[in-house]
Amino acid sequence: MIQGTASSVGKSLIVAALCRIFHRAGLNAAPFKAQNMALNSFVTPQGGEIGRAQAVQAEAAGIAPHVDMNPILIKPEGGMRSQVVVLGKPAGSMTWSAYQDRRAEFAGVVAESLARLRARHDLVVIEGAGSPAEVNLAAHDIVNMHVAAIADAPVLLVGDIDRGGVFAHLTGTMELLAPPDRARVAGFLINKFRGDPALLAPGLDFLRARFDLPVLGVIPYVPHLRIADEDSVGLEDRARRRAPAADQVDIAVIRLPHISNYDDFLALEHEDGVSVRFVEEPDEIAGADLAIIPGSKSTVADLRWLRERGAARAIAARAREGGLIVGICGGCQMLGERIADPHRVESEETATSGLGLLPIATRFARTKLTTQVRARIDAPSIFSGGEREPYELSGYEIHMGRSERGAGVAAPFRIIARNGVALEALDGAINREGNVAGTMLHGIFENHALRAAFIRALRRRKGLEASGSARPIASREQEYDRFAAAVAETLDLPALRRIIGLD
C-alpha cells in the first residue's frame, strides 16, 4: 500500500508506476483505492463510474478498469454536500454526517471489493488518500490504515520534497500514527526530487536511524507527463502559465469552481503548436483563439458563477463577434437555452436560463448516464476542424442532464455504440453560424485524427501554417513506460519485492 504525508504528494502516479513495473515483470497487478474524493472520473467498460486515477492505474497495469478498483467515489457538489458513487452508481447526495451514518455499510463494500480483486490478481497495489495522520478523521477512516489492516498490507510512506519540509512531513506523520499503524510502515519514498541525490544523504540517514526503516527510493521530478491528475490541485501551476507564443494557438479553458474531467484537454496541452490556459477572468477569454467551457459537477452553480464573474457577458460578446466557443458536457448544457431540474437532482433551482448560444434544452433525470461510446462525425464543426471524415472515435459520457436539440439543429457527433451495444443517437449541437458547438462526450481529443484536424483548423484561422506539432505527442503507453522507468531506476526493487513477499 502507498500512503502519503499529504494530498498531491504523488501517490496516484507512484501506484501507476508500480502497476506498470510489475505488469512488465509478468505479474497480473491491479490498483485499488477504497474511497476517492475527486471530480475527475471515468467510465468502465461495464458502465460504472470510478475515479480517473484508478482508470489510469489500470491502464498502466495493462487491464481494463473495474468498479472494484474504486468502490466509493465522492464528488463534491458544494453546500457541504457530495454525490456518493458506490460500485459505479450514484447512491445519493449526502452531507458528511449522513455519509458517516452509513460508514459500516461502506466499509463492508470496501472489504468485499478488495477481496474480489485479490482473488482475481497476483498483486494489488493500494493507494491511500490524503494522510493517514489526520487525527481528526482517524475514527472514520476506511481508506488508509483501515484498509492496510484488513489487507495486512505493508505500507510505503511517500513524501513530496518539491514542496519542501519532506523530512519533517515524514517524521511528523510517523509520530502521529498509533503504534499498530506505525508498525505497518515498511519504508519511505521521497518523491519529485530535483538535483543531486547526494545532497539528501544526511536526511536519509536520519530517517533510517530514527525509525529503523529503509528509504527505498528518491524518485526524480519527471516533467510534462501526459498522465491524468486525480484532482484539480494540479491546475494551480497550469493556471499560471506564460502567455502563448506567436506561433501557437491559444485555447482558454474556463476554470469553473466545480470543474470536472479537465484531463479532456491533456492531449492538447502536449501539442507543440498549442497553448492551453485555465482562466477565470473575463478579459482572459476575449483574446483567446478558442474559449472552452469544460465539464462541471454543479452545472447550475457554475453557470451562476459565470454570470457573477462577468464571464457570461464576455462569452456572449465573443459569440456575437464570431469568436469560437466550445462546451463539453456541463459546458454544453450551459451554452443552451434552458436547464430544467424538476427533481432537484443537482440544485434547488428547478429551472434556469442558459447562455442561449446553442439551440438546446437540458433536463436533469434521476439516473446518471455513464457509458463508453464509439461515434462518428455527423456534421462538420469546430471539433472536427470543419471536416466530415468517416473515421470512428471513442469517448465516454458521465451526466445526469439529457439535452434535446431544436428542430433542424446540426449535431457534431453521431453515437454508434454505448458500452459495446450498437445504436444510433445524435450528440451535441452546433449553432447556425458555426462558431459555437457543444458535445456531451468526454475524451474526444484523445482521438488523434480529430485532434489533428481541430488544431489544423485553428492554426489556419489564425494565419499560421496548418501543420501543428513538429512531432507526434507521446502515447499514454509511452508515458507510463517513461515514468515507470524513472521510478524503477531509483527504486530498490529487490528490497521492495522482499517487503511485498515476491522474492
Q: How far apart are CA 414 and CA 379, in angstroms?
A: 9
- 238 shares its domain with 118: no
What percentage of residues in the chain have a pLDDT greater than 70? 96
pLDDT digits (tens, 9 = 90+) for 268-309: 998 988 999 999 999 989 889 999 999 999 999 999 999 999
pLDDT at 451 > cutoff 90: yes
The pLDDT score that the predictor gives to residue 42 is 95
pLDDT digits (tens, 9 = 90+) for 352-371: 999 999 999 999 998 999 99
Q: Which CATH number is 53's domain given? A: 3.40.50.300
* Mean pLDDT, residues 334-354 taken together: 91
Q: Say how many domains are in the chain.
A: 2
Q: Which residues pair with 397 in a beta bridge?
A: 371
pTM comes to 0.90
Q: How far apart are CA 209 and CA 411, in angstroms?
A: 65
The C-alpha angle 7, 143, 101, rounded to 5 degrees, equals: 115
Q: Which residue has the cell 451535441?
A: 428
Q: Which CATH number is 328's domain given? A: 3.40.50.880
The pLDDT score that the predictor gives to residue 470 is 45
The pLDDT score that the predictor gives to residue 234 is 59
pLDDT digits (tens, 9 = 90+) for 21-36: 999 999 999 999 999 9
pLDDT at 444 > cutoff 60: yes
The pLDDT score that the predictor gives to residue 503 is 73
Q: Where are the beta strands (DSSP E) in 257-333?
A: 259-260, 274-279, 290-293, 295-296, 324-328
The lowest-confidence range among 88-92, 465-469, 481-485, 492-496 is: 465-469
- 466 shares its domain with 329: yes
| Beta-carbon count within 10 A of 396 CB | 23
The pLDDT score that the predictor gives to residue 403 is 92
- 427 shares its domain with 445: yes
- 222 shares its domain with 277: no
pLDDT at 233 > cutoff 60: no
> pLDDT category, 374, cuts 50, 70, 90?
very high
- 181 shares its domain with 55: yes
Show the DSSP H helices in 121-262 as ranges.
145-151, 166-176, 179-182, 201-211, 235-239
- 243 shares its domain with 392: yes
- 108 shares its domain with 218: yes
**Grid coordinates representing 147?**
484498509
Nearest in space to 249 (alpha carbons), one of 391, 45, 459: 459
* Mean pLDDT, residues 422-433 taken together: 96
pLDDT at 469 > cutoff 50: no
| Beta-carbon count within 10 A of 308 CB | 9
The lowest-confidence range among 47-56, 340-349, 357-366, 412-421 is: 340-349
The pLDDT score that the predictor gives to residue 420 is 92
- 157 shares its domain with 10: yes
- 33 shares its domain with 144: yes
Annotated catalytic residues are 329, 442
The pLDDT score that the predictor gives to residue 319 is 95
pLDDT at 336 > cutoff 60: yes
**Grid coordinates representing 102?**
452509513
The pLDDT score that the predictor gives to residue 196 is 87
The pLDDT score that the predictor gives to residue 242 is 61
Burial of 2 (0-12, 13-18, 19+ CB in 10 A): buried
The lowest-confidence range among 41-55, 98-112, 230-244, 341-355 is: 230-244
* Mean pLDDT, residues 112-132 taken together: 97
> pLDDT category, 395, cuts 50, 70, 90?
very high
pLDDT digits (tens, 9 = 90+) for 307-326: 999 999 999 999 999 999 99
| Helix-helix angle 476-490:52-60, to 10 degrees | 80
The C-alpha angle 142, 499, 208, rounded to 5 degrees, equals: 95
Q: How far apart are CA 327 and CA 97, in angstroms?
A: 35
> pLDDT category, 138, cuts 50, 70, 90?
confident
Q: Tell me which long-range contacts 68-71 makes (C-beta under 8 A, separation of at least 24).
A: 68/32, 68/113, 68/114, 68/116, 68/117, 69/30, 69/31, 69/32, 69/33, 69/113, 69/117, 70/32, 70/33, 70/34, 70/36, 71/34, 71/35, 71/109, 71/110, 71/112, 71/113
- 125 shares its domain with 208: yes
The lowest-confidence range among 114-123, 133-142, 230-239, 359-368 is: 230-239
The pLDDT score that the predictor gives to residue 475 is 86
The lowest-confidence range among 197-201, 304-308, 431-435 is: 197-201
- 282 shares its domain with 217: no
Instruction: Give φ, ψ of 366 to 5 degrees.
Output: -75, -25
pLDDT at 240 > cutoff 70: no
> pLDDT category, 236, cuts 50, 70, 90?
low
| C-alpha to C-alpha distances, 8 to 18, 163, 229, 348, nearest whole angstrom | 17, 10, 9, 33
- 122 shares its domain with 162: yes
Average pLDDT, the chain: 92
pLDDT digits (tens, 9 = 90+) for 142-188: 999 999 999 999 999 999 999 889 999 999 999 999 999 999 999 99
* Mean pLDDT, residues 462-489 taken together: 83
Instruction: Give φ, ψ of 389 to 5 degrees.
Output: -105, 155
Domain that holds residue 482: 2-226+478-500
* Mean pLDDT, residues 456-474 taken together: 78
* Mean pLDDT, residues 389-409 taken together: 92
pLDDT at 59 > cutoff 50: yes
CA-based diameter of the chain, in Å?
Answer: 73
Nearest in space to 432 (alpha carbons), one of 354, 358, 493: 358
